[in-house]
């Protein structure tokens, strides 16, 4: 679970950095309706950037929470820490990921856009199961 929390932080940091130095709108998205960020009205481009920074902040903060709860609480077999780490990650993922499966308003590279977060989620699930089994063994 801790490794997944660190991976969430890494994804959020990449999301944040690419907002300022990337060529597209976000990871794996280079155009919206054939338009690049440079084609947009500056106020709209800034607003999108503002949303990306906020999204990155919440991904990073969730990763910090999951990693900290896992490292300091789950390793001590504290059920409340395990449950809180699960809830923190699941709420974020459950709200954010389904939007990627609805509509085709913009094209994105599935591998680069969602691959890292799905990998981190898989690591998180495996870690959560292993941690739960470890807590039950004591």
Assigned domain for 34 exists:
no
Contacts of 52 (CB under 8 A, 6+ apart): 15, 16, 19, 25, 26
Assigned domain for 28 exists:
no
Strand partners, 26: 29
Among 119, 5, 10, CA closest to 110: 119
* Token pair of 127 as six digits: 């870690």
pLDDT, tens digit, for every residue of 39-75?
999 999 899 889 999 999 999 999 999 999 999 999 9
* Token pair of 111 as six digits: 């591998």
pTM of the model: 0.82
Contacts of 75 (CB under 8 A, 6+ apart): none
Angle at 64 between CA 122 and CA 101, to 5 degrees: 40
> pLDDT of the chain along its 138 residues, tens only?
999 999 999 999 998 998 899 876 788 787 888 888 889 999 998 998 899 999 999 999 999 999 999 999 999 999 999 999 999 999 988 888 777 777 666 666 778 777 888 888 899 999 999 999 998 886
Number of domains in the chain: 1
Q: Which range of residues forms the domain containing residue 48?
A: 2-21+41-102+114-137
Q: Mean pLDDT, the chain, as a whole number?
A: 88
Among 12, 29, 15, 24, CA closest to 104: 29
Between CA 47 and CA 53 the distance in angstroms is 10
Angle at 64 between CA 132 and CA 124, to 5 degrees: 35
């Amino acid at each position: 679970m801790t490794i997944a929390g660190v991976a969430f932080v890494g994804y959020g940091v990449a999301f944040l950095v690419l907002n300022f130095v990337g060529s597209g709108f976000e990871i794996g998205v280079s155009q919206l309706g054939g338009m690049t960020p440079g084609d947009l009205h500056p106020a709209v481009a800034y607003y999108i950037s503002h949303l990306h920074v906020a999204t990155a902040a919440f991904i990073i903060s969730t990763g910090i929470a999951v990693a900290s709860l896992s490292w300091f609480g789950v390793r001590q077999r504290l059920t409340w820490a395990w449950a809180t780490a699960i809830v923190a990650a699941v709420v974020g993922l459950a709200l954010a990921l389904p939007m990627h499966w609805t509509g085709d308003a913009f094209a994105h590279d599935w591998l680069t856009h969602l691959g890292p977060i799905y990998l981190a989620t898989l690591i998180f699930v495996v870690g959560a199961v292993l941690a739960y089994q470890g807590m039950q063994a004591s």
